[in-house]
Amino acid sequence: MSDTLSAEIGKIIRRERQARGMTIEALAHESGRCKVSVSAAETGR
């Protein structure tokens, strides 16, 4: 996946998480991922 696409997807994930009032920890728990994975996705890594 291109860096630009990854960054755009990350922005969407963060925007939607924040719109729902969720923390990274809460999203990680709900999605079955670790906090590091969620954070990496949000930053496009």
Domain boundaries, the chain: 3-42
What percent of the chain is modeled with pLDDT above 70? Answer: 98
Per-residue model confidence (pLDDT) at position 43:
94
Is pLDDT of 27 > 80?
Answer: yes
pLDDT > 80? residue 32: yes
In whole angstroms, give the CA distance from residue 4 to residue 2: 5
Q: Per-residue pLDDT averaged across 15-39, rounded?
A: 98
Confidence of residue 30 (pLDDT cuts 50, 70, 90): very high
pLDDT at 3: 87
The C-alpha angle 8, 14, 11, rounded to 5 degrees, equals 15
User: Biggest alpha carbon distance in the chain?
Assistant: 29
Q: How many CB atoms lie within 10 A of CB 41?
A: 19
